[in-house]
Amino acid sequence: MQNGAGDGRRPRGHAESSSKPDGELPLGTCPDMCPAAERARREREHRLHRLEVRPGGGGDRPRADPRRAVKEYSRPAAGKPPPPPSELRPPPVLLATVRYLAGEVAERGDASRAEVAGFVADRLRAVRLDLALQRAGGRERALVLEAALAVLLAVAARLRPDVAPGGPAEPALLQAQVQEGFGSLRRCYAQSPGPHPRQAAFQSLFLLYNLGSVEALHEVLQLPATLRSCPALRRALAVDAAFREGNAARLFRLLRTLPYLQSCAVQCHVGLARRRALARLARALSTPKGQALPLAFMVHLLALDGPQEALDLCRAHGLPFDGEERVVFLRGRYTEEGLPPAGTCKVLVESKLGERTLEEVVMAEEEDDDRPKSPG
């Protein structure tokens, strides 16, 4: 899934927002993840998602489970009155909803990753809309937006490489949702200076997701020096520099050290980075008789998941092999067709979750060394 980074385009990031001043907005009072009126309406209209119905409650008329139903996104119509407070979930309920999506839905084993991603992306969009339509303090607003964005990045990273265009999680729409989430959160930071303990980490996620984007780099460089000095942003800036310079050895060495969420954010660029590295090797090593490199070297250099992935990557680019598990760089054989192979990214992403659950990662506060340091 490409997101336009590296081609100089401005990162997209439109988000739902209210035209009313914050002081004129209501405070939501809905105690449930999905308002009772919506549950009943969608039940009558047979529009419940199967992840929202009571266990064993299928059949001709599935029944909504209040513990599983989550408010779906509905675009505000022009001229239509705003929803009453009883249909808006206050920030604590929105945060509990995000926690549920991370801890229960994202980990469902009875649904495909594409189905999970499509459901989660829609429900998180509704979370952001509920937040925009009511009064909320800057800190509690940031907590909801941070958690929602973390879940979305994780389910998007898990989606590859089995994503299918036109399925329940269209890559371009999912990408737009991620950029929208970044837009909402970064505006929240700008409007509510904080402190926000996770700001440095999420600003680093923004840069990594938009790796190579001139606009994203410029926006990050405008941040206060106290933020830019945090380890999370220093790491992200180093990754961005290595990506721009085409320094594959340094880039993949840095990628190995990134925490889980940062790895989820940068995963969409890994395929392109590997292709660029392979192209540079082909230009430097290709001869009429061919020069060979061991597959083990390719695995290490490009942080691949094993010899088979190295074999598949090189074959996808037209490079042959000898009988000693070495790739041979023959002049004129390197080719590029279609998008770069996405790869499985177990080493670079999946392994970094470790023994933690996604819910723990999403809801965690940052470590002390990722918080802004006081001047002097």
Question: Domain 197-376 is of which CATH architecture?
Answer: Alpha Horseshoe (1.25)
Quote the pLDDT of residue 216.
98
Residue scoring higher pLDDT (1 or 96) = 96
> What residue type is 342 in one-letter code?
A
Quote the pLDDT of residue 161.
55
- With a cut of 90, say whether residue 332 has pLDDT above it: yes
Quote the pLDDT of residue 23.
62
- Reported as a pLDDT band with limits 50, 70 and 90, residue 9 is very low
Percent of the chain at pLDDT exceeding 70: 88
Burial class (CB in 10 A: 0-12, 13-18, 19+), 323: exposed
> What burial letters (b/e) apply to 126-153, b meaning 16+ CB within 10 Å?
bbbbbbbbbbbeeebbbbbbbbbbbbbb
- Reported as a pLDDT band with limits 50, 70 and 90, residue 13 is very low
Give residue-wise pLDDT tens across range 188-238. Answer: 999 998 789 999 999 999 999 999 999 999 999 999 999 999 999 999 999
- With a cut of 50, say whether residue 376 has pLDDT above it: no
CB 276 within 8 A of CB 300: no
Please, what is the average pLDDT of the chain?
89
First-last CA distance in the chain: 43
Q: Which of these ranges, 24-28, 168-172, 297-301, 324-328, has the smallest mean pLDDT?
A: 168-172
> Where in the chain are the domains?
1-33+70-193, 197-376
- With a cut of 90, say whether residue 298 has pLDDT above it: yes
Phi, psi of 2 (to 5 degrees): -95, 145
Phi, psi of 291 (to 5 degrees): -110, 145
Q: Residues 353-357: what's their mean pLDDT?
A: 93
Residue scoring higher pLDDT (57 or 346) = 346
- Reported as a pLDDT band with limits 50, 70 and 90, residue 24 is confident
- The span from the CA of 368 to the CA of 104, in Å, is 29
Cα–Cα distance list, 310 to 104, 123, 280, 305 (Å): 35, 38, 16, 8
Q: Residues 319-334: what's their mean pLDDT?
A: 92
| Residues ≥6 apart with Cβ < 8 Å to 81 | none
- Reported as a pLDDT band with limits 50, 70 and 90, residue 2 is very low
Give residue-wise pLDDT tens across range 64-78. Answer: 999 999 999 998 877
- With a cut of 80, say whether residue 166 has pLDDT above it: no
As a dihedral over the C-alpha atoms of residue 166, residue 171, residue 172, residue 177, rounded to 10 degrees, the angle is: 120
- With a cut of 90, say whether residue 258 has pLDDT above it: yes
Quote the pLDDT of residue 19.
56
Q: Residues 306-331: what's their mean pLDDT?
A: 92
